[in-house]
Amino acid sequence: MRPEALNSLFVETEALDGVGPKLRRPLEKLGLTRIRDLAYHLPDRFVERRVITNLDEGSIGENVVVALTVREHRAPPGRGPFRVVAEDVAGNICTLTYFGRASYSAKKQLPVGETRWVAGRLDQYGQMLQIVHPEHVSENASAPLGHLCEAVYPLSEGLTQGRLGSLVSQALQGLPDLPEWIEPGLAAKTGWPVWREALAAAHRSADAEARDRLAYDELLANALALMLVRESNRSQRGTPLQGDGALRAKLQLPFALTGAQARSIREIEGDLAQGAPMLRLLQGDVGSGKTVVALSAMLIAVEAGAQAALLAPTEILARQHYETLSRMLRGTGVEIALLTGRDKGKAREAILMGLLDGSIQIVVGTHAIFQDSVTYRNLALVVIDEQHRFGVGQRLMLARKGRRVPHTLAMTATPIPRTLTLAQYGEMEVSKLDELPPGRQAIDTRVVAVERLDDVAQALARHIASGQQAYWVCPMVTENENEDLAAAEARYAALKERFGDAVALVHGQLRPEVKDAAMERFARGEASLLVATTVIEVGVDVPNATLMVIEQAERFGLAQLHQLRGRVGRGSGKSTCLLLRGDKLSETARQRLALMRETQDGFRLAEEDLQLRGGGELLGTRQSGDTPFRIANLEQITRLLPMAHDDARLLIERDGGLSGERGEAARLLLYLFERDWGVQLLRSG
Ligand code: ADP
Ligand code: MG
């Protein structure tokens, strides 16, 4: 139960004045459904304005407040903008320019002959001074003068700065006083304002200390929650698993393990033998050979007489894992089954029986393997592939499945910088596959301007004619999903025209059967070219596919490009990756593509990505998706997270039950940032 002190913060935004059904959607789009969310909706930046008595004092590009007297209205002759010609006290002329419907209110606000205070950005248009869409116009000085420093908020369609600003102030007015959870020594050293004041200050001006305090709160909440998971896990009883090596000896691998693989298996083996359940992350770049490590771990469980499950984020990946593992298990006598949400009827019943009576020892599947209807005889190990796709909540739910808490091995191919590993997986031990299997060839990566599409198509034709396969990736981002989808479909149609039935298409909105059928045609070599959106990002393994074309590569992040490129270069043949770029490249995008050409080391790319995005962000745009944080930006994460981590550890060491004065305050913090699953563990453990 959430502490009462926070209740007013979790009231729905609809309770505020002026929020009706019309504002609900735009607010929801920004994730602003409760008062708390509004209070934490921090400005992207601030506009600073200077009051000037005449226009000569202002410079071009500056945000100013100035008194102007209206001389004339110029209605557009055709479709041009509406212009208001105005004059300052010194007789300088300035045009106030309005496009579209904004002209209606402009006419009313700026009657000819009257003097008005105008706030806006001073620009030059030909020889004329102009202000386009002044942000404030008022009869007396106090209104614009009250806005000399004004927050600029992230918006969604249907919201204006003024509207959102007033909702935020309403939210801030009702903030409760909360007890301090920050360690007194740290508070004294940093001089950070208390929580309530920090929020107010962060909305008022670019106050670095206030922003740091709020970011730190978020990082501390996360670190604390992860620490609680870890502690609770340590105190749980798991099943110690000791294998005799008999099944592992029967595995007939066509290769010798790399040093990194052997080391990781040893680390896992050590964990499994313990009474406390394992919580380990296996981090390894694409192609580093995580599968065989996972299989070895699962075989230890089976050797010890228990069951193991492998959870994949998609049906496609579950199927592929199932096939690979079945092949590797041939001759070992181990029973393995595939269970996805699509299995129905008799087949499903048979699998459920096998899991219940223990005759199936390893199951591979999507989250369907953890539905209530699935009961295991003795599930002792859960392997989670592409861990980052599952939230921590889900992770915990999994842990509740067996009679005893199963061991967990999470795997990720997403190389994350060290600091972020701490943030995301702070509660886990880490094994790193930092060595690729021998004999891998570098992927020849080139950046190609999109104007050369014809050349690319010809290269593709030669590639296919030589009997090799290729991927063609189209971007797919949520903001313009429909447009992107249409572009991918159009590309598919164009390529199909040229290459006929050799082309297959997969994207997220196809029915699963259709998607799987296409994937399978490609995996079996019946299709030579797979046109895809980022569904293929993780795990898909077709060694004969040695060419990858990525369209609009500038729209992808480095980590994602790296993941995609990892789909090729899987066999012994030479592979190529062509990054097609548009003509409007930002400096960051240009550097990103250059880095892709330069290196194939995922960990290095991750660190560089952090650098690239960390710099140049003053107030810090939100890094949605990549980090679990909304307030803390990358720079703050790098600087403050290690501190938050140490602080959390100390607090838990001193007051593991969070029952002291500071502990109670820390509980509030956990609820405030909705890391309350940490608190729930406290209760149950
Ligand atoms: P990941 O899941 O980490 O991306 P996989 O487990 O799919 O990587 O392995 C990629 C490829 O490398 C597979 O074809 C696998 O058979 C092969 N492989 C794995 N380990 C080795 C090794 N030690 N030596 C040679 N090839 C290996
Ligand atoms: Mg894999």
For the stretch 237-290, pLDDT in tens is 788 999 999 999 999 888 999 999 999 999 999 999 998 889 898 988 878 899
| CA distance linking residue 55 with residue 96, whole number of Å | 13
Give the domain extent around 104.
47-152
Q: Is 257 in the pocket of ligand 1 (CB under 6 A)?
A: yes
Q: Which ligand is nearest to the CA of 285?
A: 1
Q: Which atom, in ligand 1's list, is nearest to the CA of 293? A: 6
pLDDT at 621: 38
Interval 496-531: pLDDT, tens:
999 999 999 998 788 888 888 888 899 899 999 999
Q: Are residues 59 and 28 in the same domain?
A: no
Directed axis angle between helix 208-235 and helix 661-672, to 10°? 100
Q: Cα(336)–Cα(291) distance, rounded to whole angstroms?
A: 15
Cα–Cα distance, 105 to 472 (Å, whole number): 50
Going by CA atoms, what residue is nearest to atom 21 of ligand 1? 437
Distance (angstroms) between ligand 2 centre and the Cα of 386 equals 8
Domains held by the chain: number: 4
Asked whether residue 570 falls in the same domain as residue 535, the answer is: yes
Q: Are 568 and 599 in contact (CB under 8 A)?
A: no
Let me know whether 38 and 116 are in one domain: no
CA 540–ligand 2 middle distance (angstroms):
8
Output the CA–CA distances (angstroms, integers) from residue 524 to 3, 275, 541, in the order listed: 57, 44, 11
Nearest CA to ligand 1 atom 5: 289
Give the separation between CA 524 and CA 504, rounded to whole angstroms. 12
Distance 330 CA to ligand 2 centre (A): 19
Ligand 2 (single-atom ion) residues, CB below 5 Å? 539
| Last residue in a domain, options 433, 467, 499 | 433
From the CA of 568, how far away is ligand 1's center (Å)? Answer: 13
Say how many Å lie between the CA of residue 298 and the centre of ligand 1: 17
Any domain includes 683: no
Q: How many residues does the chain have?
A: 685
For ligand 2, the distance from its centroid to the CA atom of residue 321, given in whole angstroms, is 8
Residues 330 and 452 in one domain: no
| Atom 9 (ligand 1) nearest CA | 289
Together in a domain, 262 and 407 = yes
For residue 497, what are its two tokens? Answer: 């025209």
Nearest to 551 by CA among 581, 506, 577: 581
- Report which bound ligand comes closest to the CA of 290: 1
Residues 140 and 35 in one domain: no
CATH number reported for the structural domain that contains residue 30 in this entry: 1.10.150
> Which atom number of ligand 1 is nearest to the Cα of residue 385?
2
* Cβ of residue 279 lying under 6 Å from some atom of ligand 1: no
CA of 258, closest atom in ligand 1: 23
Ligand 1 atom nearest 256 alpha carbon:
23
Report if residue 633 sits inside a domain.
Answer: no
Indicate whether residue 258 lines ligand 1 (CB < 6 A). yes
**What is the number of the ligand 1 atom nearest to the C-alpha of 566?**
4
Report yes or no on 507 lying in a domain. Answer: yes
Q: 124 and 89 share a domain? A: yes
Q: Which bound ligand lies closest to the C-alpha atom of 287? A: 1
Strand order in the sheet with 307-311: 336-339, 362-365, 307-311, 379-384, 407-412, 279-284, 429-433
Q: Which CATH number belongs to the domain containing residue 79 in this structure?
A: 2.40.50.140
pLDDT of the residue at 616? 37
Burial of 344 from C-beta contacts in 10 A (0-12 / 13-18 / 19+):
exposed
Q: Can you name the residues that pair with 432 across neighbouring β-strands? A: 283
Pocket test for ligand 1, best of 251, 258, 291 (most atoms within 8 A of CB): 291
CB-based contacts of 101: which residues, under 8 Å, 6+ apart?
Answer: none
- Backbone phi, then psi, for 599, in 5-degree steps? -140, 160
SS3 state of residue 420 = helix
Any domain includes 224: no
Closest ligand to C-alpha of residue 317 is 2
What is the CB-side half-sphere exposure of residue 106 using CA atoms within 13 A?
26
Distance 629 CA to ligand 1 centre (A): 33
Closest CA relative to residue 604, chosen from 447, 634, 612: 612
CA nearest ligand 1 atom 19, residue = 289
Which of these three, 552, 578, 599, is where a domain ends? 599
In this structure, which ligand is nearest to the CA of 310? 2
- Measured in Å, residue 566 CA sits from the centre of ligand 2 at 11
Find out whether 671 and 3 touch, Cβ atoms under 8 Å.
Answer: yes
Residue 407 in domain: yes
The closest-lying atom of ligand 1 relative to the alpha carbon of residue 543 is 14
Write down the pLDDT at residue 578: 97
Same domain? 421 vs 349: yes
Q: Of the ligands numbered here, which is closest to the C-alpha atom of 291?
A: 1
The answer to whether the CB of 286 is under 6 A from ligand 1 is: yes
284 lines ligand 1 (CB under 6 A): yes
Shared domain for 482 and 586, answered yes or no, is: yes
Q: Which residue has the tokens 């995005």?
A: 613
Q: 291: Cβ below 6 Å to ligand 1?
A: yes
Closest ligand by atom to 542 CA: 1
Residues 38 and 55 in one domain: no
656 part of a folded domain: no
552 and 451 belong to one structural domain: yes
- Reduced to 3 states (helix: H, G, I; strand: E, B; else coil), residue 444 is strand
Q: Which of 433, 455, 490 is the last residue of a domain?
A: 433
List the one residue out of 469, 444, 462, 471 whose CA is nearest residue 544: 469
Q: Please check whether residues 3 and 85 belong to one and the same domain.
A: no
CA of 287 relative to ligand 1 center, distance in Å: 5
Extended beta strands in 80-213, E state: 82-87, 93-98, 115-125, 128-132, 136-138, 149-152
The answer to whether residue 666 is domain-embedded is no
Distance between Cα 562 and ligand 2 center (Å): 14
Give the Å distance between the CA of 566 and the centre of ligand 1.
Answer: 12
Mutate which of 251, 252, 282, 292 to test ligand 1's pocket (most atoms within 8 Å of Cβ)? 292
Which segments of the chain have a pLDDT < 50? 538, 615-625, 685
SS (H, E, C) 103-123: HHHHHHHCCCCCEEEEEEEEE
The DSSP call for residue 91 is -
Q: Does residue 193 fall inside a structural domain?
A: no
Residue 479, pLDDT score? 56
* E runs forming strands in 126-254: 128-132, 136-138, 149-152
Q: Is 58 in the pocket of ligand 1 (CB under 6 A)?
A: no
As a dihedral over the C-alpha atoms of residue 600, residue 602, residue 607, residue 613, rounded to 10 degrees, the angle is 80
Ligand 1 pocket residue status of 251, Cβ below 6 Å: no
Q: Output the domain CATH number for residue 534.
A: 3.40.50.300
